[in-house]
Structure 1
Amino acid sequence: MAQEEIIFPNNIRNIRMATGMKMTELARQSHLSLSAVSKIEKGVRRLNQKQLLNICNILGCKLSDIFIKEDDAVADQWQSEIKRRLNDNEDSGLKIFGSGLRKIRQQTGKTIAQAAADAGMTLSVYHKIEVGQREIYQNEIEPLAKSFAMSAEKLFDKIANLYKSGELNKQISKVKERVKSVLIPDNPASGIDMHGGLYGAKLYDSARKKLVPVFGVPDGKSITFKKSDETMIVAPMPLEGRSGIYAVIPNSKRLGGFVPEHAYVFADATTAPAVGDLAVCIDTDFDKLEPDAVATAQIVSVRQDSKGKVYGQIASPEEKIIGHTMHKVIMIVME
């Protein structure tokens, strides 16, 4: 029997159970089917960025909590299960058949969508056959072979000859490497120190590139600033994949109404502001700020005094702010 291969090892089930939430409740709140949530928790289905963020909010966890770290107690269990499923599919011959089918499709110049349509299959079913995750039923063989102008016997012979010649080794290796990539511990360059490698670091990075951490929230007359990925929002398209970007929820009253309420202010930690710019002004060294340490910040208009000294200015009431770090505000987006 074909085994669905694990492509997204995760901690969602453990986090859900620790909160006492039932799978049915997670499915309801996330607007996913019970079957989809079950597959996600088993690691055989991925989530897009918005779904990941939504589940983090529902479970009250960080994005990084969902991914398996190298030193997690469950890392070995995931690794063993991934290898078992991979080996089961190889031993059953599904990998060879799927790789042969893919080679034939590529030789004919067909896209996977065209091949699926010609064989009368959905794109999902055809793809699973090519990657060796689904058996072929007897009533599917003839239409599949006919889509390549072959008989069923000729299709099997063609795949067997490709395998004997060694031409499928590269195809099988690509599938294997793609699956095993979730096992490679790595330290993703996301701007947040993950304190150790992640299994599926590429998946984390892919999700992380489309999200931005919220470092600052209003607190009285100032902004509490915490360099953490505890709260994330979807990045505006122009900011996707840019390093050093973070968001702050402004204290609009202190900006004299210049920045509307219910907005996010996006700043670039790699860009110093010029006189006349808006900036996030932090009372400590940003680069030395630990993830759980709390600082104070303000959104300021950058000014320069008669002696050439740069400072920040805020309104309501007017106040001169001298901070340790200033980052240029590059975008303001309504919530």
Structure 2
Amino acid sequence: MAANITDLLSRAYVDPGFFTLMGKTAPEDINWVDAETLRKLNVLNRERVYQENDFNLNDGRMSLVMSSVGMFGIHRLTASCENGTLAFLSETGVSEARTALTADMSGEQIASEFEFRILAQGYRTPPAKHLTQGYEEDFVFSSFSLDEITLSALSTAQTMDVRLVRENGLFLGSKFDLRDGRLSELISDCSGIVGQHPSILGGKPDNEESLSPVYAASYLLAVSEASPKSPVAQGDLTLEEEALARYLRYLEEWSLPNAEALTAMEAFYFPELYFYGKTLSREELMDEKRTFAERWPVRQYTAQPEGMEIRCLESGCLVAAFVNWEAFSPERNKSASGVAWYGLGFDARTGLIVLEDGKSQKR
């Protein structure tokens, strides 16, 4: 049984040490595991929910199909070897952001609107060769090949990012985990290229990959209906500082007693916003807030200072962090607590919230 569990954890890219940690706790006890430990063991992974890598053999051609299922759809990357040459096909799901990203654009327009970009362990690679793109049924298809130095870097890289990047910096795409060595094996067997560390590509690793795959789709959708605005910070604060202050103030005021908290919440939100995957009016959102507040009248939300991520563009700012939360109902004598990866998107002109999204883990 233990071997089956550790094998399952390994296939999910979770450190088997998590099972060892579980085994140290008696069945009748509760072991409180902090978020940092869960991150080190790869239990908390906000960039990718699930990934599966499989080899296929079809008509003498060997292919590796990597499928990543994330919060905003399915992304696939296929690497195929034929006659000593590697060819790639990327399928980027854009179903949750279709309105914001594509509108009435044709496949050719999508190709010109978004820059196709590959990263090897965070290092940006030279442009893909023989790139052709199209759009069909909520997927952007990109077929391409890569030069030898990029293949060499990917042979030793732990991750590979495939992105569609807009001029403003926001992107859609996925981070593929390469630690099982299958892509490296395919590159070596197909082309004989010797692997080199991704730093051979030059430059500095891109540190923005953790935020955008989770929130870019919904954030783009939330701000797409508003016209471009001129962001103006308040007083001497930068846009990032102002957005962070709003984020922390929001958590503080949502932790107040119900009467004060609900009054404060109504002043925080845009007339219409994107809320956990659906569009709501402010009135509809407040109905949900009241229901939650009545069920849990005592609440406390505190952002963890490490790992906060802030991104400001022309249309607004996005702030995300791990938040420790506690809730209590004196009437029901019930309590709950946990940690949530929680993001708020603020409109640049008004400072009001246009996006609320996240994922919670109960203790």
TM-score, normalization: structure 2? 0.20
Between structures 1 and 2, the one with greater strand share: 2
Larger Rg: 1
Structure with the bigger RCO (C-alpha within 8 Å, sep 6+) is 1
Task: Name whichever structure is richer in helix by fraction.
Answer: 1
The TM-score, its normalising length taken from structure 1, stands at: 0.22
